Amino acid sequence: MSDVAAKVTKIIVDQLGVNAEDVKPEASFVEDLGADSLDLTELVMAMEEEFDIEIADGDAQKMLKVQDAIDYIKNR
């Protein structure tokens, strides 16, 4: 697992209180990991803090699955 993927996984585990093995690349934040809209906002804020970036609302709304978030951060 890449460094970014590991960090993103850790953030998701911390934020959503899920098991690391459930945080698969194809997992949907809402449907598979049980995130609500406030969780999604908090996830984005946690990623902004961890990677020292700013994620625009439009970009955040496109992050539906775990892999989307990893790809987004890798491409920054």
What span, in angstroms and rounded, lies between the C-alpha atoms of 35 and 32? Answer: 8
DSSP-derived secondary structure letter, 22:
G
Complex with another protein: residue 31 or 36, whichever CB lies closer: 36
Does residue 45 interact with another protein by CB under 8 A?
yes
Q: Select which of 3, 32, 36, 59 is catalytic.
A: 36
Q: Return all residues near 39 (Cβ < 8 A) that are at least 6 apart.
A: 15, 16, 29
Residue whose structure tokens are 């997992």: 27
Does residue 42 interact with another protein by CB under 8 A?
yes
3-state secondary structure of 21: helix
Does residue 64 interact with another protein by CB under 8 A?
no
Does residue 13 interact with another protein by CB under 8 A?
no
Residues annotated as catalytic are 36
- Which residues lie near another protein (CB under 8 A)? 36, 38, 42, 45
